């Protein structure tokens, strides 16, 4: 079981938003996942080999294979059904998910399919060069809320040890069943949903070695780690 990751969250903190891997190449490593497009343009939800983008207007569209990502996680779906969650509010959700993980010391994917209430998502607007910092994009985010939604929460748990590579804890995205609503998940109360989990023994961390900006970047900064925690909350 392998998790494939292109780029690191740390790359995004100082503003390395340029795409460095094509969607076509990304999909060679998995059919399920999350990410963002070049310029930090929206939020990606990858399900059954189809890549959906939610942009800052809230529009959802299918992404072309030639488009580029600066950051994404994918894996080949082989989930284990864990059971049903009923009436779990957002405040309790992450703790309930954590309790179901095999271990907090490995990367895992979680998938919830069902009915959710008070679903709040965000999507970042695409940025132009020269790119701002990740923190500065907070002002370029749109937030969307739906009272009730049938859909899928898909995302990953990352151990705290790997802060910088990823955001510690859960990083979850949402896509509605009608494929009209989604984004980076900020809030969802679970009405009823089936939970599936997949844990990974292997992390294939793919770095944009050919990118001159990445080559020259100073990533050895405590500020980068604390900014990740702020930006991905």
Instruction: Enumerate binding residues for Zn ion (CB under 5 A).
Output: 184
CB of 215 to Zn ion, least distance (A): 26
Q: Which is nearer to Zn ion, 186 or 217 (CB)?
A: 186
**Whose Cβ is closer to Zn ion: residue 36's or residue 80's?**
36
Residue environment code for 141-162, b if the CB has 16+ CB neighbours within 10 A, otherwise e: bbebebeebebbbbbbbbbeeb
Question: What residue is closest to Zn ion based on CB?
Answer: 184
Cβ of residue 64: shortest distance to Zn ion, in angstroms? Answer: 20
CB of 43 to Zn ion, least distance (A): 5
Residue (184 or 187) nearer to Zn ion, CB: 184
Tokens linked to 42: 């929206």
Residue in the structure block whose two tokens are 């999909």: 27
**Beta carbons within 10 angstroms of residue 49's beta carbon:** 12
CB 72 within 8 A of CB 26: yes
- Shortest Å, Cβ 124 to Zn ion: 9
Give, for 119, the enclosing helix (H) or strand (E): strand 108-124
CB closer to Zn ion out of 9 and 212: 9
């Amino acid at each position: 079981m392998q998790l494939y990751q292109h780029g690191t969250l740390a790359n995004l903190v100082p503003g390395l938003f340029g795409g460095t891997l094509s969607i076509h190449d990304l999909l060679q490593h998995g059919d399920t996942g999350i990410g963002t497009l070049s310029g930090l343009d929206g939020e990606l939800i990858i399900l059954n080999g189809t890549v959906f983008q939610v942009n800052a207007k809230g529009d959802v569209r299918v992404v072309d294979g030639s488009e580029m990502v600066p950051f994404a996680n994918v894996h080949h779906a082989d989930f284990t059904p864990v059971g049903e969650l009923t009436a779990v509010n957002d405040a309790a959700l992450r703790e309930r998910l954590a309790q179901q993980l095999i271990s907090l010391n490995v990367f895992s994917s979680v998938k919830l399919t069902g009915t959710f209430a008070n679903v709040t998502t965000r999507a970042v607007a695409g940025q132009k060069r020269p790119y701002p910092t990740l923190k500065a994009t907070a002002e370029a985010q749109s937030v969307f809320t739906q009272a009730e939604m049938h859909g899928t929460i898909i995302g990953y748990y990352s151990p705290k040890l790997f802060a910088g590579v990823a955001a510690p804890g859960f990083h979850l995205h949402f896509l509605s069943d009608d494929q009209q609503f989604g984004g980076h998940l900020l809030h969802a109360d679970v009405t009823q949903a089936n939970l599936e989990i997949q844990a990974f023994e292997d992390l294939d961390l793919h770095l944009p070695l050919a990118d001159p900006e990445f080559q020259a970047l100073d990533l050895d900064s405590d500020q980068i780690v604390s900014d990740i925690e702020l930006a991905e909350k």
